[in-house]
Amino acid sequence: DQQVKQNSPSLSVQEGRISILNCDYTNSMFDYFLWYKKYPAEGPTFLISISSIKDKNEDGRFTVFLNKSAKHLSLHIVPSQPGDSAVYFCAAISYGGSQGNLIFGKGTKLSVKP
Amino acid sequence: DVKVTQSSRYLVKRTGEKVFLECVQDMDHENMFWYRQDPGLGLRLIYFSYDVKMKEKGDIPEGYSVSREKKERFSLILESASTNQTSMYLCASLGLSTGLSGVGGYTFGSGTRLTVV
């Protein structure tokens, strides 16, 4: 059973507009959520994270929103740039009984068109 | 910066061959992980290790084994490569003293694209 779900395999956005990537989860015990960005032929790189006790975290053009009641988080990129085109992975972790295993979603491929 | 180095970017191996994928990290991290990435399936955990000599199965360990003889090195072994093991393999590390708060969680290597023919 998938604990972290990214239901949109792809998303296409015009340069300068907002990109919204969504992620749903089923485990209410997750303590932390992270977003990773991956270019082809490269390893994923960390983008932004949020603790389960917060509802928003912002870093430059990137903002992550967490809605615990809906078990939903989203990544907003404003404004979107062509260099943002990549696969974005949502990930989550529960510290109870765990020593650091992230659970990843299947990813969403973002294409930002000039 | 933490660096995670995977020894090969691209590998082509024949069915039945024993394959070694090497991963080295330079920041004295305790936790190391092996994932594979496949289109439509995301990142799937194969094996992980919390310390030297320690290893635990992830979600898809079948057909793989690992070795962690030294803290900085975590090797993934395909005992008898098969075509369904053609994939992008990603190694990652995490330091317990750093944890996940305020930093980027795992540090990934650049990946090894393995093709089994």
Percent of chain B with pLDDT over 90: 68
Contact A49 B104 (CB under 8 A): yes
Considering only residues B85 and B103, tell me which one the structure prediction assigns the higher pLDDT: B85
- Contact residues for B14 (Cβ-Cβ < 8 A; gap 6+): B81, B116, B117
State how far the Cα of A53 lies from the Cα of B72, in Å rounded to an integer: 34
Cβ of B103 and A46 within 8 Å?
Answer: yes
Q: pLDDT tens, A101-110?
A: 788 999 999 9
Per cent of chain A over pLDDT 90 is 75
Count of Cβ atoms closer than 10 Å to residue B22 Cβ: 16
- Assess A96–B contact: CB distance below 8 Å, yes or no: no
Q: Indicate if the pLDDT at residue B61 is higher than 60.
A: yes
Per-residue confidence (pLDDT) for residue B104, from 0 to 100: 58
CA A95 vs CA A35, B31, B36, B60, B112: distances in Å: 18, 14, 23, 21, 29
Specify the range with the lowest mean pLDDT, choosing from A23-37, A78-92, B16-30, B85-99: B85-99
- Which tens digit of pLDDT belongs to each residue from A27-58? 888 888 999 999 988 899 989 989 899 999 99
Q: Which of B43, B47, B74 is most worth mutating to test chain A (most A CB atoms within 10 A of its CB)?
A: B43
Q: Do residues A100 and B94 lie in contact, with contact meaning Cβ atoms separated by under 8 Å?
A: yes
